[in-house]
A = this chain, B = another copy of it.
Amino acid sequence: MPEAAQHHGTAPTDEELRALDAHWRAANYLAAGQIYLMSNPLLTEPLKPEHIKPRLLGHWGTSPGLNLVHTHLNRVIKERGIDALCVWGPGHGGPSVLANSWLEGSYSETYPDVTRDARGMERLFRQFSFPGGVPSHVAPEVPGSIHEGGELGYSLAHAYGAAFDHPNLLVACVIGDGEAETGPLAASWHSNKFLDPVHDGAVLPILHLNGYKIANPTVLSRLPEPELDELLRGYGHEPITVAGDDPVQVHRALAQAFDEALDRIALLQRTAREEDVTQRPHWPMIVLRTPKGWTGPAEVDGVPVEGTWRAHQVPLAGVRENPQHLRQLEAWLRSYRPEELFDTDGRPCAEVLACVPDGARRLGATPYANGGLLVRELPIASLDDFAVPVDKPGATLHEPTRVLGGLLEQIMKDTTARRDFRLVGPDETASNRLDAVFGASGKAWQAEVLPVDEHLDRHGRVMEILSEHLCQGWLEGYLLTGRHGLFSCYEAFVHIVDSMVNQHIKWLKTSRELNWRAPVASLNYLLTSHVWRQDHNGFSHQDPGFVDHVLNKSPQVVRVYLPPDANTLLSVADHALRSRDYVNVIVAGKQPCFDWLSMDQARVHCARGAGIWEWAGTENGSEPDVVLACAGDVPTQEVLAAAQLLRRHLPQLAVRVVNVVDMTRLLPQEEHPHGMTDFEYNGLFTADKPVIFAYHGYPWLVHRLAYRRHGHGNLHVRGYRESGTTTTPFDMVVRNDLDRYRLVMDVIDRVPGLAVRAAGVRQQMVDVRARHHAWIREHGTDLPEVADWSWTS
């Protein structure tokens, strides 16, 4: 039980208020200093142009508000002895969070060369937004952060993700009124219907209305108070409003607001945990209305700046050239009375540090924001317990995701007490045939439950909401605070989170370069209900391009797998779930699919990432005449059917079948850690024979990966070409020229000398495609010989 539950806040004394103000002024001074100063950090001499940075970059406008929240969070954390994390939605306000970390000492502990004294203060200032220094946002480099905040919209979802299954954690979340206009943020408010007051921690949203974005007022700040109040109550919160521009009054009101909010959170947690109250709580939140760029220059060059959008970035832009601006900057900086805040060595004085909590309770030192310190090995049972038996290839059918569901159910069971694994998806867990997991955990749900409902569970760890943004944001927050998870999604609609995954990959890439950030569990996607099997939904649900999107990103981080059957899916999922600091994309089918490999064969094949399936080819030890390559479940089936046709019709042809599971194997070794050497590549694909490659997605991706290979000129790729509609599975591959008959034609067209010799076979292929077209128009189903096909037939 959190200690907060046993504590009631007491109003700060005047002395305490003075100390809070001192901390706030110190943070404001340090934030402004980072934007402007290269030297003379304590203003021990009059400010001169040469003290000013040559390039003035940074965001002042949001910083005083963030500093205010940080100061008051310090107070309640220290007073109540609670574990807390803060998600800084206005992540542009890097100077603020850096300033606070430096003040509390966590910065110097993380970066010993930036000491907590005058010399370190100068480094802190100089490095900010300086080439080779630190970025201007709350980036991975910033201690205590799990959220970049450059791309706005995800703070509240991250906060909920951090709070899930951390019952003793308070996650404060500052939401800028700009960010609040985004879709993902607007949807995130309803996350409170998924927060379990028993097993999860608390989220305290702090909506900061400073009134302006880059160049416009914000929508929420211009709502009449009663309308805003209705909105926030409609979101399920009890808002506590603090507004003003008089520091003393605001300090007093904000301290009271935090006390009220935390008292209420403690009460709600206690009633849920001890008194078994099951009604969904209406959690408190704080609305903080203070001026943008508060305490900065009121006017510059005759126009208002403080309290307007003009305070967004650098309020005084011409400081080096304009003596008036320089004087104004000096007056501004001196208005914080730095001589009262720092001793002559530049160390923060005792009053400034009075509110700062100790040790790992400091926001810049909490291990919750460095989740790799907390993460444990995920218990993954032996795959043999879930594998499907395969005596010979292609003799049986299974739904691969359903088989995976068995493994996930076991993981869910084995984490019942630990509660460090969650499965997220936009209302698709059952549709994606992972419903075995409901045997181990229901679906998180705090709202009303009716008798007809199934699998809803106040304590569930399966998360379903019809928002890919929330699934992604929750999972990111969950992983970055030291847990594990899997996101199962319709393949086409994972593009909804393209931009979020960009940011997460960038976060991981940078984190990997920081020795103090411990590796976190990978973000794992299971993309299913894929492009080839959208029989119900048609064209709008057909897009295999997420793989292309992800493969543009840092090769240190991204991995892409296309397991061709159930056992290979198990092997790949096992690998992904054990890995750290990656984004793993697994594309797999949910429809019945032939079992090609036994579990042991699958392990070997997936470890190699690509391999020759000797049993499917006809090469008999010699060099092949042609290579049939495939990646993905449907292309694999078509390639095997084509190989069977070739074996029957052209038995003298030496055909090699290669299956690729790990797409990055196709890249050169220099470009990706999984990339093959040319020697390995040629060993699989040959250097000079025709390669007909049936790929799951857009065909040019394979060229983009393999263009440097010697044999690239002989590589002919078939894939999805945006030719889709509501139709049968086989008609889909025919429409996109990925079908077995077309692949046989491709072989005949490309193997030298075969065009004449196999003209009759080619004509048979043309004929059967024509028969397909006629049949499907008449019957609406696939040709019997296709519908009943199997490798062993």
| Chain A residues at the B interface, C-beta cutoff of 8 Å | 53-55, 57-59, 92, 129-137, 139, 148, 150-153, 178-179, 181-190, 193, 213-219, 222-224, 227-236, 304, 307-308, 313, 427-431, 443, 445, 447-448, 450, 452-453, 456, 464-467, 469-470, 492-493, 495-496, 498-499, 502-503, 506, 509-510, 535-541, 543, 545, 548-549, 552-554, 698, 700-701, 703-704, 707, 712, 722, 725-728, 731, 776-777, 779-781
**Contact at A137–B214, with CB atoms within 8 Å?**
no
- Nearest chain-B residue to A91 (Cβ)? B540
**Contact at A233–B236, with CB atoms within 8 Å?**
no
Cβ contacts under 8 Å, A235 to chain B: 231, 234
Q: Is the interface of A mostly helix, strand, loop or mixed?
A: loop
Cβ contacts under 8 Å, A700 to chain B: 552, 704, 707
Partner of A428, one of B55, B214, B554: B214
**Contact at A184–B183, with CB atoms within 8 Å?**
yes
User: Measured between alpha carbons, how far is A704 from B427 in the docked complex, in Å?
Assistant: 36
Cβ contacts under 8 Å, A543 to chain B: 502
Known contacts A150-B537, A496-B499, A552-B548: A727-B131 contact under CB 8 Å:
yes
**Contact at B217–A179, with CB atoms within 8 Å?**
no
User: Measured between alpha carbons, how far is A130 from B538 in the docked complex, in Å?
Assistant: 11
User: Measured between alpha carbons, how far is A567 from B466 in the docked complex, in Å?
Assistant: 46
Min distance, Cβ A470 to any Cβ of chain B, angstroms:
7
- Nearest chain-B residue to A671 (Cβ)? B700
**Contact at B465–A219, with CB atoms within 8 Å?**
yes
Known contacts A137-B537, A148-B540, A498-B549: A430-B215 contact under CB 8 Å:
yes
Chain B CB count within 10 A is highest, among A229, A448, A492, A506, for A506
User: Measured between alpha carbons, how far is A430 from B427 in the docked complex, in Å?
Assistant: 40
Cβ contacts under 8 Å, A216 to chain B: 427, 443, 445, 456, 464
Q: 19 A-B contacts, Cβ less than 8 Å apart?
A: A57-B726, A129-B536, A136-B538, A137-B540, A150-B537, A153-B496, A183-B188, A185-B187, A213-B427, A223-B447, A227-B233, A227-B234, A234-B234, A308-B452, A496-B498, A545-B549, A549-B549, A552-B722, A704-B707
Cβ contacts under 8 Å, A307 to chain B: 452
- Nearest chain-B residue to A190 (Cβ)? B219
Known contacts A540-B150, A781-B55: A178-B466 contact under CB 8 Å:
yes
Chain B CB count within 10 A is highest, among A139, A185, A186, for A186
- How many copies, total? 2
**Contact at A509–B223, with CB atoms within 8 Å?**
no
Min distance, Cβ A192 to any Cβ of chain B, angstroms:
10
Partner of A536, one of B58, B308, B443, B498: B58
Known contacts A139-B539, A499-B493: A467-B726 contact under CB 8 Å:
no
User: Measured between alpha carbons, how far is A549 from B469 in the docked complex, in Å?
Assistant: 19
Known contacts A131-B728, A187-B186, A236-B227: A181-B777 contact under CB 8 Å:
no
**Contact at B217–A131, with CB atoms within 8 Å?**
no
Partner of A187, one of B183, B228, B495, B503: B183
**Contact at A55–B780, with CB atoms within 8 Å?**
yes
- Nearest chain-B residue to A723 (Cβ)? B554
User: Given contacts A186-B190, A213-B427, A222-B447, could you give 12 more A-B pairs where the C-beta distance is less than 8 Å?
Assistant: A55-B728, A92-B537, A130-B726, A137-B538, A150-B539, A215-B428, A217-B453, A222-B448, A227-B233, A227-B234, A545-B549, A552-B722
Min distance, Cβ A406 to any Cβ of chain B, angstroms:
19
Cβ contacts under 8 Å, A187 to chain B: 181-183, 185-187
Partner of A183, one of B182, B234, B707: B182
Partner of A703, one of B230, B466, B698, B704: B704
User: Measured between alpha carbons, how far is A440 from B210 in the docked complex, in Å?
Assistant: 29
**Contact at A450–B135, with CB atoms within 8 Å?**
no
